[in-house]
Chain A
């Protein structure tokens, strides 16, 4: 039964990984930008929520109402006025810009919030759960994270598939120059895509902050999980990202069940195996792009 428990915990953890990876996947899919500040931006979102709880009588979940729009606005501005300028200067320029952003963010957060570990208090929800048997236990918070991840991904998928703007976004991703000929401002599409990516990132960052403690320097350690989820699932595919997150989560928990030393390593091995055997990701047909 401990193996069943390992798989259950892995799926729940995978939901959070998937949600966290969505923004990275979206930004790469639409703009071909690898956002190295992804982890630090999630920490920024968590600190914003922390500051709000400190200043206002707000519930940790209620902070999302303010943090998500704020991060989306930041994403829009960042893309429109910073990243957009770097896009014309070759593939390396945006990468370097986000790397610089990562360093700046870590130091600003350290200056403003001090190096103390913080967490967003959700009271009993963090430890409440359903005991299915002696060794299998499903935590409500994990279920909630998975539920939010699925809701966000389904919503995003519908948005991309059904709305005119979603179509424009996919078209821009496929061929930016032709889209411009059709009279679509690709910069607007890019800025909106980044805003959406930052919004999902903000949700993930706040949920991470409820799960465990965070401090200004923890971002880069998280980034690797998002990368792996995106690669395992397939770059730019949203369903793939969900599958990638869950596969990564299950690989880690099942690996830990074999020996705790293999937890993170098992995730890395699955990631490498996918890169070698199916570089397009587990959910994408080989022909696509």
Chain B
């Protein structure tokens, strides 16, 4: 970089900074890196949430390669894109610490974060406090927005922006699947004593009131501790209560334990819709024949009719590239991790510079067609949030892999094609 362009850019950044008084000095310091765009990315690569981070290595690598060949053209100059990946180790405290390192030591221009509220929330809080724009995903919007002190029609955020679906979507999709399976009106609720289980099972704001409007009631034996080894108590109550539907948000080992014991003790609902445990193909494979037709929500699949705004790849091509490189079956986070970088590139391009304030302003009203669907931050249920479409799927025996996730229900987004009908278990 020439000394003169550096000085001009630094001067411009300083000017832009004077608009917002308090952090003007800090900002002109950190955007001294004109000519490069520094992206920080916090993700769980080890620990209990590691399956979520599994797609990262490939997606980040592919995106880096793309940016190396196609520098980002912003405000008349080409920016080199640098991606700093930090492992959150599946721990909230650790996530907050690495985020603050990225902000204070590495001086990133823009923060990206994904995978569950445990990781997205502390990172977003750090960014909000330090005045760094942050894009987050793969956490339902309620725990991200309400869980951080946001209020519908009230408090919102200046620096942090999120895209994903919400509980209302999963409620609608699951009920559509229940009706299509011809199940009865009683659902057994398998809710653990963790933030997800408590939110889903909440008698005022969770599933019970939402499904009651359609005549469903929930047999809720109560919250159980994650890691419980024996589920005969739940199974007995589901049998007693005539729960024709199984509903839950549990971790893979707990669901495997439950489902095997249910088969052994003779509980067989007509349909099962389970979040979290059934996200990744390895869990279904582990169930053997018991995995057939288990249902779950689908946020992204290779059959989604969307295209990357960055690389021009379709969802199918993105999944194929992942499989070609890793020899593994596609997983849902692939599309969302990729979309994080689409949003980042677009926000910086719209802002016209890497200036933090300008990027945050661009995010506030950003509209972009990504590989996970059309994102529109002006049309969200609350400010700071853009919703992505959600559909429902069932795991069926496949040809290339032991099980394939087949889209069977699309009441919210008919543009996503269904590949089969809902089948009872």
Contact = CB atoms under 8 A, between A and B. Distances in A.
Contacts of A135: 236, 239
A264 interface: yes
A253 B229 CA distance: 9
Nearest to A12: B230
Given A137-B264, A137-B266, A212-B253, A264 B282 contact: no
A166 interface: no
Given A116-B280, A127-B260, A252 B228 contact: yes
B288 A213 contact: no
Interface residues of B, number: 43
Contacts of A259: 221-222
Contacts of A13: 229-230
B309 interface: no
B352 interface: no
Interface stretch (A2-10, A30-38, A74-82): A2-10
A257 B252 CA distance: 23
Residue in A215, A216, A249, A257 whose Cβ sees the most chain B Cβ within 10 Å = A215
Contacts of B236: 2, 5, 135, 257
11 contacts: A126-B260, A126-B288, A212-B229, A212-B256, A212-B260, A249-B230, A252-B228, A256-B224, A256-B231, A256-B232, A257-B236
Q: Among B50, B90, B261, B264, which residue has the most Cβ atoms of chain A within 10 A?
A: B264
Range class of the A interface residue count: 35 or more
Given A5-B236, A256-B228, A263-B230, A118 B282 contact: yes
The interface residues of chain B, by DSSP majority, are classed as helix
A215 B90 CA distance: 14
Interface of B: 46-48, 50-51, 53-54, 90, 193, 221-225, 227-234, 236, 239, 252-254, 256-257, 260-261, 263-266, 280, 282-283, 285-288, 290
A118 B266 CA distance: 24
Contact of B51 (A6, A107, A117, A265): A117
A217 B252 contact: no
Nearest to A2: B236
A260 interface: yes
Interface in A215-251: 215-218, 221, 225, 249
B230 A261 contact: no
Closest 4 CB pairs of A and B: A115-B50, A119-B286, A116-B282, A256-B233
B159 to A, nearest CB: 31
Nearest to B252: A117
A211 B50 CA distance: 22
B51 A5 contact: no
A237 B154 CA distance: 62
A107 B264 contact: no
B90 A217 contact: yes
B286 A263 contact: no
Given A117-B253, A127-B264, 7 more contacts: A2-B232, A135-B236, A257-B233, A261-B223, A261-B224, A261-B225, A263-B233
A260 B222 contact: yes
A264 B288 contact: no
Contacts of A2: 232-233, 236
Interface in A47-74: none
A118 B286 contact: yes
Interface in A1-24: 2, 5-6, 9-10, 13
Given A10-B230, A256-B230, A213 B266 contact: no
A161 interface: no
A131 B222 CA distance: 26
A168 to B, nearest CB: 37
Nearest to B47: A217
Interface string A114-126: 1111110101001
A79 to B, nearest CB: 28
B282 to A, nearest CB: 4
A219 B415 CA distance: 43
A225 B229 CA distance: 10
A198 interface: no
Contacts of A128: 264
B90 to A, nearest CB: 7
B264 A263 contact: no
B222 A253 contact: no
Contacts of A116: 51, 54, 280, 282
Residue from B265, B266, B288, B290 having most chain A Cβ neighbours under 10 A: B265
A116 B230 CA distance: 23
Interface in A70-127: 106-107, 110, 114-119, 121, 123, 126-127
Contacts of A265: 225
A119 B223 CA distance: 25
Given A110-B46, A261-B225, A252 B282 contact: no
A110 B46 CA distance: 7
A214 interface: yes
A217 B87 CA distance: 15
Given A13-B229, A118-B286, A128-B264, A260 B253 contact: no
B367 to A, nearest CB: 35
Contacts of B285: 119
Given A114-B54, A211-B257, A123 B229 contact: no
